[in-house]
Structure 1
Amino acid sequence: MRIGFGVDFHQLVEGRDLWIGGIKIPHTKGALGHSDADVLLHAICDAMLGAACLGDIGVHFPDTSQDFKNIDSKILLKKSYDLITAEGYTVVNIDASLCLEAPKIKPYVAQMQATIAGILNLTVKDVSIKATTTEKMGFVGRAEGLVAYATILLKNI
């Protein structure tokens, strides 16, 4: 068994779509990034890769490569999963937290869980997604950005 922890931050800007957990969420702002900037999937990728001692998302999918420009982060999640399975691991469960002031993500959590579970061969009961605000403090509280944290448990196949 191996535990991994991932974190990701993205700025929120006008003129971009907001993707969280593989789901497009209606909002006035979207996350800025080289890919679709899905902060939750990026944190999960980092947690998986870290648990398997394979570095981080930037090592495998650098933002300097045109191959990953505007890429759907669900593809990055699948590629990260393929990397850990090649090392002899599979995912047991994920516990993730999002920090953002708006929009409320509760209506989308079940769809996010199903999307992530489908990619990682899990059940939705194996994918915990929670959300909180920062009570209007800091860059998250000012709606300048959002943060995701993910903890993952891997086991040998």
Structure 2
Amino acid sequence: MFRIGLGKDLHKLATGRKFLLGGVELPFEKGEAGHSDGDVLAHALADALLGAAGLADIGELFPPADPAWKDADSMKLLGISWNKAREAGWRIVNIDCVITCEKPRILPFRDKICASLAGTLGVDKSAVFVKAKTNEGLGELGHSEAVEALVVCLLERDDT
């Protein structure tokens, strides 16, 4: 059996925060505002995996109102999310990610981001791809006021 999952996350950018994508810190004067460390890519990927497995969503597992998750490492949240899907018998076939932001430039960090995600999920790096888009100067994404991640994943489970 195959299942597709879709995840999306959007965070405002704020001074005094780290800019994190897939557990990799990128040099930039702003970072994601959020209850956890704000890593939009880790959040969107967790939602895609959980949704494909039909288990939950990230807000259900790690409610933002719960102080236990304040400033939490989003890659740990991703790992917990994936472990739930894996324990239900799912395997990752592939993951495709799109990051939208005007700045910083993502391409110089893409390989490191893919490797970080693959390491957390225990899959070959070739199963994870990340691409970046700008918003052509339009809206909050185009004015470097926010960053967005869209993720699709394909999971497989042997139900025989």
Which interval holds the TM-score relative to the shorter structure?
over 0.9
Alignment root-mean-square deviation, CA? 0.8
Residue 64 of structure 1 aligns to which amino acid in structure 2? A
- Per-residue CA deviations over 1:34-70 (Å, capped at 9, x if unaligned) read 0010001111000000001112100001111111110
- Per-residue CA deviations over 1:67-94 (Å, capped at 9, x if unaligned) read 1110111101100011101211121110
Match of 1:48 in 2: 49
Match of 1:19 in 2: 20
Residue 75 (str. 1) matches residue 93 (str. 2): no
**Structure 1 runs, 4 residues or longer, greater than 2 Å off:** none
Identical-residue share of aligned pairs (%)? 41
Match of 2:64 in 1: 63
Unaligned runs of 5+ in 2: none
Note the 1:74-153 alignment, pairs <5 A: 74-153=75-154
Unaligned runs of 5+ in 1: none
Q: Distance in 2 between matches of 1:91 and 1:68?
A: 26
- Per-residue CA deviations over 1:7-39 (Å, capped at 9, x if unaligned) read 000000111111111101110000000001000
Residue 9 of structure 1 aligns to which amino acid in structure 2? L
Q: Distance in 1 between matches of 2:121 and 2:29?
A: 30
Secondary structure of 1:151 counterpart = strand
TM-score by length of 2: 0.96
Residue 21 of structure 1 aligns to which amino acid in structure 2? G
Q: Distance in 2 between matches of 1:143 and 1:18?
A: 12
Q: Distance in 2 between matches of 1:113 and 1:88?
A: 23
Match of 1:8 in 2: 9
- Per-residue CA deviations over 1:71-127 (Å, capped at 9, x if unaligned) read 111101100011101211121110000000000011111111111111111111110
Secondary structure of 1:97 counterpart = strand
Q: Distance in 1 between matches of 2:128 and 2:52?
A: 16
TM-score by length of 1: 0.97
Secondary structure of 1:104 counterpart = coil
Residue 35 of structure 2 aligns to which amino acid in structure 1? H
